[in-house]
Chain A
């Protein structure tokens, strides 16, 4: 259903959509049932000449049944939803698989910075590739991200992944994703962060291994300008 509007490009995106559909089916049933009965009663019990209302207290057992039974059924639906919701939450947020690659994501007013490991595959080494508003990842690899914020709250949101995580100043929050579809997609900041909040857009580029290697080689900061290698110069070159 949601895929028609927003593509799915992560391993767990489909699970989240399925959960949304499950909830839609369960609550949709209750909503339609209630509205039909509700509107039906309004039509059926409109004032008619000579017909008085009935005196029903609702305190007797056989009357209370009409409330009690649906209320247990609602409880059952709730339990079903809780089980599926917690299960998916556990997959996305709690049970992080071993990473193939780790990237650092930094939110600040009003841009995203992404630190990619360079050719050595490790963060915080000389060959890290820093990019503003561009995240380059390889398809079918498990990524961990270390999410930070420099100034205020931001929220790293990738709709095609169905992923969202707030970035909190003073903390490093780890999360994961595995991309399943090639292409470039929107990254949003989903938490209000000041007057530039509406412009805090970035892009994620999901690449095949060959494309990604080419990109890494092209942007390797240790290759072209070793003696003047500074972050600023590299960022300027990359952009």
Chain B
């Protein structure tokens, strides 16, 4: 657990790059994820400009050809899910928070952890390099359906498609290693006294997400190997002319792809729970219910994948089964939302920046959740499938997850990560400058989808029903909103880096929070605590009657005088 303690005094690039400290690795994941988010956001800017102003010489990019358009949308999706949502939500927060919140000095497999980040970094480099090879980056959508993805004569990206696949496969390996580490650490290295019911919800959610990921990714890795062989060795796993089946890939992909939605959702849900409890000064409503609904969602998520394939040529009778399972999954998710709302009841709510993000997560995610019903119901999916309605729906889930949830986490734990407070005014400007344009981007896209606009089209002039002025106006509105939102991200970046230099000192526990990470220095030293803490109670004992203070840290023994500070 602590084989690296002996050289924690040494500084310099090498000791940073090869550090096995969970906090360093967590930061590396976070900064890599943020850098990739800039690339993914820039791609969105480039293709949205092309949609709003077809043929335009896009500032900072140039003219977007149809091949480039396909590559931009493909890699935007791939990057945002695999290189932003996963590294930041699971790897960065998982690495940083797990040892600190369960009260141990490091991950149980620190060197495996180091290897995980290095493979992840390699995967990011492979992906970025794929944009610059001959033929350009892969443009067959993030779902990479064969035969388009399998044959260079169809996709015209002989190297880009294989590098894309290799990068995704490497990323999976990195997260398998990380997942093993997270699960093992939480199960084995908790502070003395911390029972299963005392684990903060965000940690539970990261563990459940890791389990879901590990259980679902196997088939897709097998699929990726087969697809790679089809591309490079001329095998015919997915080639119908030689006995293969292209729809098989879709099953392998979505068997992973749907649980993957919950892999990123659950950590964001966990962050929201923790942030909401702190700033509502409330105990989480029905802790065990939250946990059970998360487990229920996870289990059900393995039985819904074919709702992505209703019209893909599967036996139509199968759609009925998957409609039932898909609609049933709305129950645990709805229950979770009810619980979160109930948690606010009777609180003493402080609208700090992290709390605003956490509340926005819930408010926006509910829109994403209910619009999923239209697509899970087979009958209405016939029309809405592959339309912008789908796109707007999953952005209303993924944006709250990967952007809003992440900002909730970063602004909440920033004081612990860096020992400084972020500027609240700038934080709130950034919040409203992100959330309002977000809705302005995607509400028009819902309407366009209902109007029959299909996806991944670089220019709608070939479709008279979609080329009208009112539809084009909505596209322009969405694009302008996106540009506004992107500009506001510089407020965050400035706030992030300026606060490192001149932010107020945070102290140990600026939010008066209960969980163990707030009982050590900010930022925590190597090894996290001089003396590892004990745990005496659950993480959400806020506003307990009869205590002077309205919080009760997990590490304070019961017999200590009321209001004893950590």
Contacts and interface: CB of A to CB of B under 8 A. Distances in A.
A182 interface: no
A19 B377 contact: yes
A196 B337 CA distance: 43
B377 A201 contact: no
A30 interface: yes
A81 B339 CA distance: 24
A34 B366 contact: yes
A75 B379 contact: no
A209 interface: no
A198 B240 contact: no
B463 interface: yes
Contact of A155 (B65, B386, B466): B386
Q: Interface extent on A, as a size class?
A: 35 or more
Interface in B119-146: 139-141, 145-146
B174 interface: no
Interface in B5-61: none
Contacts of A152: 145-148, 154
Nearest to A161: B383
Given A45-B347, A70-B338, A82-B327, A194 B316 contact: no
Interface in A166-204: 166-171, 173, 185-186, 188-199, 201
A31 B366 contact: yes
B289 A58 contact: yes
Interface string A80-93: 01101111111011
Contacts of B350: 47
B246 interface: yes
Interface in A77-111: 78, 81-82, 84-90, 92-94, 109
A30 B341 CA distance: 13
Contact of A157 (B65, B247, B359, B454): B454
A48 B328 CA distance: 40
Contact of A192 (B335, B380, B455): B455
B222 interface: no
B462 A75 contact: no
A197 B450 contact: no
B458 interface: yes
B225 interface: no
Contact of B458 (A82, A86, A173, A198): A198
B284 A58 contact: yes
A86 B373 CA distance: 13
A197 B456 contact: yes
Interface stretch (B110-118, B401-409, B539-547): B539-547
A37 to B, nearest CB: 6
Contacts of A214: none
A61 to B, nearest CB: 11
Interface in A49-85: 51-59, 63-64, 66-67, 70-71, 74-75, 78, 81-82, 84-85
A20 B344 contact: no
A235 to B, nearest CB: 20
Nearest to A69: B338
A67 B451 contact: no
B246 A170 contact: yes
B2 to A, nearest CB: 37
Interface string B349-362: 11100000001001
Contacts of B281: 52-53
Interface in A131-158: 151-153, 155, 157
B513 interface: no
Given A66-B342, A85-B379, A166-B313, A56 B335 contact: no
Given A152-B154, A164-B385, A74 B379 contact: no
A15 B378 CA distance: 13
A191 B138 CA distance: 16
Contacts of B515: none
Interface in A198-237: 198-199, 201
B66 interface: yes
Interface stretch (B205-213, B317-325, B486-494, B521-529): B317-325
B141 A192 contact: yes
A195 B156 contact: yes
A78 B382 contact: no
A162 interface: yes
23 contacts: A5-B451, A16-B380, A20-B374, A23-B374, A31-B370, A34-B341, A34-B366, A38-B344, A41-B349, A47-B348, A58-B283, A71-B331, A89-B319, A89-B379, A152-B145, A153-B147, A159-B452, A163-B383, A169-B240, A192-B140, A192-B145, A192-B455, A198-B462
Those 5 A-B pairs whose CB atoms lie nearest each other, nearest first: A170-B240, A88-B379, A159-B452, A58-B285, A54-B346
Given A78-B328, A195-B70, 4 more contacts: A41-B341, A78-B327, A157-B386, A192-B145
